[in-house]
Copies of this chain bind each other. A is one copy, B any other.
């Protein structure tokens, strides 16, 4: 267990300390449950009653909320980011392991840094390059000529196909598959002919990739994931996509081939992005939306269908299919009313 004083936490995070800097804390906890020795955070105004009653040793919060805090405070203009840093200080990752497990299979022509760890039941193919302090958990497959930058961590059962190149500090969760063939076929009189997928996958620094997420290799050039991208679980990214730096994508989203997503975007869970389109920087797509064409302007977009009781929705479905006819009937009726009125003061 790590114990740090509030003074140390303030110093490491740049937060402004109000209260006794010598107070020691050993962990983080939720606002409503934190007790002595814990730090918590407050950002949601609906939780104000919990703030007033908190038993935490200290609360991380915004300047405007300080007056409402009954205990010591770490004040920050961005309390959630400060909380992230405090939690990482109090709950550091386990130290890395080192060496090649006796139950791993590593090609003689792979280059494994002496400070890296290759876990049991891993396979590392010829020509792979594994950087300093990289942690490759049990059951991973590292294909030919894969390059893994320093401090990457593959938790377990991760698959990196040949020629995948990943920068520093990636965190890749179990079941992720990077560099499988893109889905490319030519139809020749009813039979699909495979297009060889000759590109790779190129991933920047500080990328996190969720469990069972898949990123396909490019057809001729690389699929590109830029610095700082965060991908949740069960995401599919097709061949030749580019995902711009610091974009975050939630679970179950699917990005079809050759889509070009901008920087600093957020894409909600279950959203689908069509292939061969361009999404500008700072576009925010709501969950369960279908994006069928390019988006040139930053901003928030949505399209998830409504939810109704089953019987109401059946009527809505019927009416949606009738909608073009309804609109034509409305137009005819407007014309009829106008004609009979002689002039039409209600319509410009």
Q: Verify A83–B186 contact, CB threshold 8 A.
A: yes
**The one of B186, B192, B228, B264 that contacts A246, using a Cβ cutoff of 8 Å:** B192
Q: Is the CB of A312 within 8 A of B324?
A: yes
The count of residues in chain A whose C-beta lies closer than 8 Å to any C-beta of chain B is 127
A84–chain B nearest beta-carbon distance, Å: 4
Q: Mark A307-346, 1 if CB is under 8 A from B, else 0.
A: 1111111111111111110110110111111001100001
Binary flags per residue of A147-178, CB closer than 8 Å to B gives 1, else 0? 00000000111010100000000010111010
Cβ–Cβ contact A332 & B308, under 8 A:
no
Interface segment, one of A3-11, A50-58, A64-72, A210-218: A210-218
Across the interface, A327 reaches (CB within 8 A) one of B103, B139, B183, B326, namely: B326
Q: Does A254 contact B (CB under 8 A)?
A: yes
- Contact bitstring A67-101, B, C-beta under 8 A = 1, else 0: 00000000000101101110110010000000001
A232 at the interface (CB under 8 A from B): yes
A306 touching B317, Cβ below 8 Å: yes
Give A162 Cβ to nearest chain B Cβ, in Å. Answer: 9
In Å, the complex CA distance between A238 and B274 comes to 25
Of residues A122, A314, A336, which shows the largest number of chain B Cβ atoms within 10 Å of its Cβ?
Answer: A336
Given A83-B186, A173-B180, A320-B323, 14 more pairs with CB closer than 8 A: A28-B196, A30-B220, A81-B187, A103-B105, A121-B121, A180-B210, A180-B211, A192-B230, A250-B256, A254-B269, A289-B307, A291-B307, A305-B320, A336-B337
Subset of 14 A-B contacts with CB under 8 Å: A81-B188, A83-B195, A121-B121, A155-B180, A174-B177, A181-B210, A185-B230, A190-B246, A212-B214, A216-B233, A290-B305, A299-B309, A302-B313, A326-B330
A residues adjacent to B (C-beta < 8 A): 28-30, 33, 78, 80-81, 83-85, 87-88, 91, 101, 103, 105, 119-123, 137-139, 141, 143, 155-157, 159, 161, 171, 173-175, 177, 180-181, 183, 185-188, 190-196, 198, 208, 210-212, 214, 216, 220-221, 228, 230, 232-234, 236, 238, 246, 248, 250-252, 254, 256, 264, 269-270, 272, 274, 284-292, 299-324, 326-327, 329-330, 332-337, 340-341, 346-347
